[in-house]
Structure formats: structure tokens, C-alpha cells
Chain A
Amino acid sequence: MNRRAFLKTGLGIAAAAMLPKTLFGAETAKASGPVVAVARGSKARLVGGALDLLGGMGRFVKPGDKVCIKPNFSFAANSECGATTSADITKQVVQLCLAAGAAHVVVFDHTIQESALCIERSGMNAAVVDKEKVSLLTLGKERQFADTPIPGGKELKSAKVAKVVLESDKFINLPTAKSHSATGVSLGMKGLMGLIWDRGALHQMNLHQAIADLASIVKPDLTVVDATRALTSGGPGGPGKTVALNMVVAGIDPVAVDAYAVGITQWYNKSFAGKSVKHIVAAAEMGLGEIDTAKMDIKQATV
């Protein structure tokens, strides 16, 4: 698993590095770093727009793949407030996966509040566009997780990781953009805490480093940040200040996507960069990705 994930990620990064030149010509490539795609505009086309900038979902999902998608619907909060990923955005990701030939898509989360209420409030059933091929799953039992060592972990040495991720061909992380009282922001890498059984244990260590440790073994094939609206204070559960941004940020490099997304709005009425978020810094220091937005190849589109 580790080797496969490593290879996939490596290939992905290599492909991302090569892609701009082959697809869009040298003049659009401003930097040689990882591509971060940013789509703004009409909600119904945001995911497609961002994926087009990355070369289409077909680059990530191959015919016959089992795909798992992790939106954040951990809280039984009203979907508009931004504490959970928009069901509509999730549905778009699912549809693109199916169009790319995915054999099966699992939409899942390990909810903090009661799962039935979380599903009800987030409206996540809307993502089940095809009852045969798409399933909605909430994790709640220890046997749904498998012990996984974290060889390079500085704080977290091992974790019980959701089997659905380990057993899928592709993993798409689909967080919502929101503030977080302990970690500042909760984007892609923070959302990975939803993949492990005993997330409470992370709070008993250096949380920021532990998140980076986790990110060193669970590498999404694709991260899509739902920033149609951002919960910029009161996160992660809300209620708080919700800002409409009408955008989606996507990419392969989990550090780059998070670092870029930190800058798309103010948090707690202050401006921050990826470099000022401890867990993103920790991840960059472990070599998990690019934190400097100047070195990223940022592609923007209005859809």
C-alpha cells in the first residue's frame, strides 16, 4: 500500500510537473511547482471547471476504479453555514468519477455527531446519484479501521486508518474551507483526521505535527476544497461568520492546495498565509509538498 501510494503520488507529481507544457503550452506555466487549480463562478460547474484545469478527472480515475471520496459532513449543522462540504459539490465530484469510468464510488465520513443527523442536515444523500454504483458510508466501528504504521512519524507513530481508503484504488479528499479553534484552519490535511479511529489521541500530543505525520501516510490522489462558502470563524462546527467565495481549489499536492486555500479569505478577521499555519508548515518540513504560493503553478478559470 505504502509503496503503491508513494508511486502513485510520485507519478502524479511528475505528471503535474509535465502537464502544463504538454497541455497548455509553455506560456501558461508560470512556475515549475505543483499545479493548483482555482475555479470561480457558477456553483453547478465549479468542480468540472477546476478539474479541466488539472487535465480532467480521467487523469485521476481510470475505468473500473474503486474510488472513495471523503467530504466533511462530520457535524449535524445546516449546510449553508459552511461547517460541512456542500452536497451539491460532492455530487459533482461523484458524477465526474462515474463519467471517468469508476466502477464504484464510496462517499464517506467518520462523523463527530450522530451519523443519521449528519447525513440529514448535510443533505449528503444527494450525492448518491446512482444507487448501484454509489454508496454513502459513515464510519463508527473500530473494525472498519486497520492498524497502519507511520514510519516517518514524529508524534504519531501509528494510526488505525479507515479500511475503505486502504482498499480503494483512488482516494479523493473533499474538505470544506473552514476555521478551526485549535488548528486555525481546517482544510485538506486537517480533514484527514476523519480517516482514523482514535482521533482524540492526536489532541494528547503535538496536534500540528501529528496531522502532518498522518498526511505522510495517507496521500489523496486528489484534493478538492469546497470554498463555495467559508466558515471563517466559529469553526469547525459553527455557527460563525460565513463568507461566500463561490470557488473551488483543487490539486494533487495536499500541502500546496491547503497553503493556497489559506490565502483565499481572511480567518478570524485577519489575513494569513500557508506559512503561518503550524500543521501546514510541519507537513512542508516533512517534504510532503510545496508551501510557497510563489512556487506553485496556479491556474485560474471563471466558469
Chain B
Amino acid sequence: METVAEAAARKKKPGTGIRVLRWLIQLTFLLLFVVLFVRTRYGTSPALSDVFFRIDPLVFLVTSIATRAVLAAGLLSLVVVSATFLFGRFFCGFVCPLGTTIDLTGAVLKRKSPPADACRRGKFFTLIFLVVAAAVGASFIGFFDPLAILSRSLTLVFYPGASRFLGLLSALRPTVFTETLLALATLVLLLGLGLASPRFWCRNLCPLGGLLGFVSKFSLFKFSFRGKCRACGLCERSCPTGAIDSGHGKVDAAECIGCLACLNACPDRTIRFGFRSAPQPVDVGRREALIALASGLVAAPLAGSIVHRKLQGQLLRPPGSLPEPDFLNACIHCGRCMKACPTNGLQPAVLESGLDGLWTPRLVPRIGACEKNCNLCGQVCPTAAIRNLPLEEKTYARIGTAVIDRSRCLAWEQDRACLVCDEACPYNAIDSRNQTILGTTLGRPFVNEPACVGCGLCESRCPIDGPAAIQVFSMAADRRKTGWYKTPEKARLRSCGDEPQEDVPSGFIQEEQ
């Protein structure tokens, strides 16, 4: 009988061509993901730029449970579920762009796969945790969904750096995010797990992997041992997910991501991919499942317990955002709105709205205001946490109210001819009124509250250093789940026939002065 080495040398490696093909497919999907990310900006059609999130069954499952409504955009993910039911967890091995990123960084880290991990049940743990927490009212999917993680990392880590670099060469203005370091740390941690074993995240933690792995147990086609096996163990050592038990001649369908490494490794072509409809037993682990269940039940109320509503006075959500609890349940923290925002005003929140609010979008007008003629954030939101409003309707979706701090205002405090807030306001919500203070008559700004929508252009343009003398607070924000924001009364207030309420500017020398 020939030795293993002889057999390996003799064999035409049947898996090589198809493994190259797999790499090409992986890189293509990663490239597509990045291209769609880059294209998520003002001036390009955002249609279908969220396609990866639409085919993500975890987003569909958890968001539908958390929001108590079927996420229509996510129905496409049933295609992935069906395909997984046929062929197994191929999504992880061929499509998932985070998986590909992990493969690429893993190639640098060069870790050999250890024997099957003890904590591979972790991915079922996170899955159960997410589902239970969603069922009792808090969505943590943004922390665990691989596509949301990658999209957010691209936004908060990659994009600021790239825009700064490109900005050196072009007129592109660098984008800045307040929470880049935290996002960078989590990304480094996630990729660094590759030091422990290849695809550590995918095999031990990813709840999408857990979901697809669960379905794969029942898939009709599987990898399996057929014919004679000399138990050389080469397949087991080649497997990046520890799915193979060569001693017992078994391939765990929940672990296998269809990477085809074993086909390449086996000297005898014993491992094959073929029709094997018999379901494999599912072993989530009762103890782990119970702990996951309990964690989900505890985490949901805990998430909201760290905030007080009255401390959220300057937590401005993008126009058309659902009421806060619904918003938090629908938002998957993918960062697409922040990437799309043309003014850079949408920034990641930290803990202003609880644990489950980390990395959710908030408007920081001092950095950038909400442009009247832009409704891109609603268009790119994959879960309609920000409603996709028509442009005119968006301009009526009030996000807050501007408040003047007279003690810091140049016009009020220093008698300067400054009405930049009034200049900038696109809604005529700031009136210049001539006020005499200590003998000086001068136009000074007043907020006309009914007309203000809280876009923050005043705050972004206020010329003083530091915090603006006019700031937007979330009071009177109009947050709706359904229905329209424009009312006849509001439309009348804004109609073109109305002349703005303003006194003759003090830039004129008038007789009566």
C-alpha cells in the first residue's frame, strides 16, 4: 500500500481549481460590499446599496422580532436560508465579506487550526441571546451581525482615514467621527481573535453563523466521508473551522463553511460533497442555552437602565427616525446613514440612549447640520429605523428646536452685527428684531419656534469659538411610526407668500435712529 505522502504526490489536486474559484468569489463579494459602501453618498442613487443587509437572515429575524413587524426589505434573506437548507453554510465561506476579511487577516496571522474549539457553541449562545433580548424588547444585533460590524467599521474606521488621505490629493473634505477609536478597538479585537485560531469569530461567536449552521444541520447536500479512509488526519488539520472529526469520519454540517480545503487535502478523495439528506443531531447545549436565555432576559431591561430621559436633551435623531424605543429596536448600527450624510453631521452615539444605543446615529449640528434638500439617511437605512421620507415631507419632520444662549451671542452680548444664524436658517425660523440695550439699537436674533425644525444650520454656522451660542435641543421633536409630518397649518406657516418677520437691518443708517 502506498504511503500518504506518495498518494498526496500522485494525486491531481482536484480541489485546487475550485479553491481558486472560491477565493475569486469571496473577493468579488468583498469588493462589491466595498463598492456599495463607497457609493452610499450624496449624488448617487442609493437603490439596492443595502442589498447585503436585505439578504442577511439574522437582520431579518432579529429586527422582525424586536420591532414586532415583518421586515419587508429582509424577505430576500429567505433566499439565503433556502440555499443554506440545500447546500449548507456556504454563505460564510463564499459570500460573507467579514468572513473574507477575517480570512485575509488570518493569512497574515498564519494560525494553524487547533482541534475543535470548546466554545463553538458560542455562536448558538449569541443567537439565542439576540433572539430572546429582541423578544423582550432590546435589539443588540448591531454588536454581533457580521455585515453590520463590517459596514460600521468601514464607516467609522476606514472612511475617515481614506477621506483624509484622498483629501490631500483632491478637494474631498475629510470626514470625522467622534467614536472612531472605540470602533477601531473592537475591529482589532475581532480580527485579532484570529491569533487563537482561523476564523475564530465565525466558528465561535457569529450569531449569523449560528443561524446558518443550525439550518445546515438539515441541509440536503453535505460533505461526508465516502469509501475507504486511512484516517491520516490531513483533512482535519486543513479545516479552518474544525468541522471534521477524521477519527470518526464525520463532518459537522453546522461548522463546515464549504471552503473546500479538505477536498484539497485528502489524498484519496474520500471526502466528497453530495446528497446526504439525513439531518444531523443539533447539540446547542442545554446549559449554554439556558444561560443565553437568562442573559437575554436580563440584558434587555439593563440596556435602558443606564440613562435618564431628561439627560437626552441634545440627543437629536435624524429626521424621520421612529419613536426612540422603536428606533432602538430597528437600528442595526450599520453606520450607513453616517456614511451617507453629506455634512458629516450624523455621528455615532455613545451611551446617551443606553447600552443598545451605542453607535446609533445622532445629529451633532456643531459638526454638520441636516441639509434641507437631503433625505439620504432615510433612503439608505436598511431597516427603516429612519423612515424613507419624500424630500418635502422630510423638511417637516422636526428633530428639535434651536435655543439662543444670549450670554454667548455676539449680537446680544457684544453688540456685534452678527446674524449668521438668521442668514443660515433655511426655514425663516430666526427673526432679526431691533433691540435697544444700554443705548445701542441693533438687530438681535430670536427663534421663531413654530417654524424651527431643528436642522441645526444655525448651530453649525455660529461664528463663536467652542459651543455655539445657538444650540438645538430635542424638544418638540416629531417622532412618528406612521403618518405624515406636514400639516396644513405647518404648510401655511411656511408658504412663500409669508414675508419673514424681521426688522430693517441695522446695516442701514436710518433717519429715526
Is residue A294 contacting chain B, with contact meaning CB distance below 8 A? no
Residue of B nearest to A77 (CB): B426
Interface readout for A201-244 with B: 1 if CB under 8 Å, 0 if not? 10111111000000000000000000000000111111111000
Give the distance to chain B from A172, nearest Cβ to Cβ, in Å. 22
Complex-state Cα separation, A59 to B118, whole angstroms:
85
Contacts of A234 in B (CB 8 A): 428, 499-500, 502
Q: Which label, helix, strand, loop or mixed, suits the secondary structure of the B interface?
A: loop
B171 touches A138 (CB 8 A): yes
Number of chain B residues close to chain A: CB under 8 A: 43
- B401 contacts A by Cβ under 8 Å: no
- Which chain A residues numbered 115 to 142 have a C-beta less than 8 Å away from chain B? 116-117, 120-121, 137-138, 140-141
Stretch at the interface among A18-26, A84-92, A270-278, A283-291: A270-278
Pair A239/B510 contact, Cβ less than 8 Å: no
- A181 close to B502 (CB less than 8 A): yes
Q: Does B483 contact A (CB under 8 A)?
A: no
From residue 454 to 513 of chain B, which have CB atoms closer than 8 A to chain A? 457, 461-464, 496, 499-500, 502-510
Give the distance in Å from the alpha carbon of A205 to the alpha carbon of B414 in the complex.
Answer: 9
**Contact status B505-A184, CB under 8 Å:** yes
Residues of chain A with a CB closer than 8 A to B464's CB: 200, 204
Say yes or no: B424 contacts A114, CB within 8 Å.
Answer: no
Please tell me if the beta carbons of B504 and A268 are within 8 angstroms of each other in the complex.
Answer: yes
B447 within 8 Å of A by Cβ?
no
B417-439 CB mask vs A (1 if < 8 Å, else 0) is 11110111110100010000000
Whether B417 pairs with A141 at a CB distance below 8 angstroms is: no
Q: Which of the residues B171, B173, B373, B504 comes within 8 Å of A76, measured between beta carbons? A: B373
Among the listed B462, B463, B507, which residue makes an inter-chain contact with A184, where contact means beta carbons less than 8 Å apart? B507
B374 at the interface (CB under 8 A from A): yes
Q: Report A96-122 CB contacts with B as 1/0, cut-off 8 Å.
A: 000000000000000011101100110
Q: Does B416 contact A (CB under 8 A)?
A: yes
Contacts of A275 in B (CB 8 A): 509
**Contacts known (A181-B505, A277-B509); A241 close to B419, Cβ less than 8 A:** no
B372 within 8 A of A: yes
Is A182 close to B, CB under 8 A? yes
B371 within 8 Å of A by Cβ? yes
Q: Given known contacts A236-B423, A237-B426, is B342 in contact with A268 (CB within 8 Å)?
A: no
List residues of chain A with CB within 8 A of the CB of B504.
184, 267-268, 270
B416-A205 in contact (CB<8A): yes
Is A185 positioned at the interface, with any CB of B under 8 Å from its CB? Answer: yes
> Nearest residue in B to A275 (C-beta to C-beta)?
B509
Residue B343 lies at the interface, judged by CB distance under 8 Å to chain A: yes
CB-CB nearest in chain B for A234:
B500
Indicate whether A75 reaches chain B with its CB closer than 8 angstroms: yes
Does chain B have a CB within 8 A of A183?
yes
| A279 contacts partner chain B, Cβ-Cβ < 8 Å | yes
Q: Does B281 contact A (CB under 8 A)?
A: no
User: Chain B 436-455 against A: per-residue CB contact (8 Å), 1 yes, 0 no?
Assistant: 00000001000000000000
B43 at the interface (CB under 8 A from A): yes
A116 to B376, CA, bound (A): 13
Give the nearest-CB partner of B426 in chain A: A237
A240 near B510: Cβ-Cβ < 8 Å: no
Query: Is B410 an interface position by the 8 A CB rule?
Result: yes
Residues from chain B with Cβ under 8 Å of A40 in the complex: none
Given A207-B418, A237-B424: A114 touches B371 (CB 8 Å cut-off): yes
CA distance A75 to B171 in the complex (A): 19
Q: Is the CB of B502 within 8 A of A268?
A: yes
CB distance from B308 to the nearest CB of A (A): 34
- B42, CB-defined interface residue at 8 Å: yes
Known interface pairs A114-B371, A182-B423, A183-B417; A203-B410 also in contact (CB < 8 Å): yes
Q: Which residues of the partner chain A approach B420 to less than 8 Å between Cβ atoms?
A: 182, 200, 203
Within residues 352 to 370 of chain B, which ones have a CB less than 8 A from any CB in chain A?
none
With an 8 A cutoff between CB atoms, is A38 at the interface? no
Judged by a CB distance under 8 angstroms, whether A70 is at the interface is no
Query: Which A residues lie within 8 Å of B424 (CB)?
Result: 112-113, 237
Interface pair A182/B502, CB less than 8 Å apart: no
**Chain B residue contacts of A277, Cβ below 8 A:** 507-509
B418 touching A114, Cβ below 8 Å: no
Question: With A and B bound together, what is the CA distance between A114 and B509 in angstroms?
Answer: 33
Contacts of A207 on B, CB cut-off 8 Å? 416-418, 507
A270 to B426, alpha carbons, bound, how many Å? 24
How many residues from A make CB contacts under 8 Å with B?
49
Q: Which of A35-87 contact B (CB under 8 A)?
A: 75-77
Cα of A237 to Cα of B369 in the assembled complex, Å: 15
Whether B416 pairs with A204 at a CB distance below 8 angstroms is yes
Contact of A183 among B342, B463, B503, B505 (CB under 8 A): B505
CB contacts (< 8 Å) of B443 on chain A: these are 181-182
CB proximity of B45 to chain A, nearest CB, Å: 14
Q: Which of B371, B506, B507, B508 is A117 in contact with, Cβ under 8 Å?
A: B371
Is A281 part of the contact surface with B, judged by Cβ < 8 Å? yes
Nearest chain A CB to B175's CB is how many angstroms away? Answer: 12
B8 to chain A, nearest CB (A): 59
- A181 is contacted by which of B373, B419, B426, B496 (Cβ under 8 Å)? B419
Any chain B CB within 8 A of the CB of A170?
A: no
The digit string for A251-280, where 1 denotes a CB below 8 A from any CB of B, is 000000000000000011010100111110
Is there an interface contact between B507 and A182, defined as CB atoms closer than 8 Å? yes
Partner of B423 from A180, A206, A281 at Cβ < 8 Å:
A180
* Residue pair B416, A203 in contact (C-beta under 8 Å): yes
- CB contacts (< 8 Å) of B423 on chain A: these are 112, 180-182, 235-237
Please state if A116 and B418 are interface contacts (CB–CB under 8 Å): no
User: Is A117 a contact of B42 with CB atoms below 8 Å?
Assistant: yes
**Minimum distance in angstroms from B391 CB to a CB of chain A:** 11
Contact across chains for A185 and B426 when beta carbons are under 8 A apart:
no
Cβ contacts under 8 Å, B371 to chain A: 76, 113-114, 117
Interchain nearest-CB distance for A285 vs B (Å): 13
With A120-B373, A199-B463, A203-B416 given, name 17 new contacts (CB 8 A): A113-B426, A114-B374, A117-B42, A179-B505, A180-B507, A182-B506, A182-B507, A184-B507, A200-B463, A203-B417, A204-B463, A236-B423, A237-B423, A239-B428, A276-B510, A277-B507, A278-B509
Give me the interface of A with B, judged by CB distance under 8 Å. 75-77, 112-114, 116-117, 120-121, 137-138, 140-141, 179-185, 199-201, 203-208, 233-241, 267-268, 270, 272, 275-279, 281
> Can you list 6 A-B pairs, Cβ within 8 angstroms, ordered by A?
A141-B173, A203-B417, A235-B423, A241-B499, A267-B504, A278-B508
Q: Which residues of B contact A (CB under 8 A)?
A: 42-43, 167, 171, 173, 342-343, 371-374, 410, 414, 416-420, 422-426, 428, 432, 443, 457, 461-464, 496, 499-500, 502-510
**6 tightest A-B contacts by CB?**
A200-B463, A184-B507, A203-B418, A183-B507, A207-B417, A184-B508
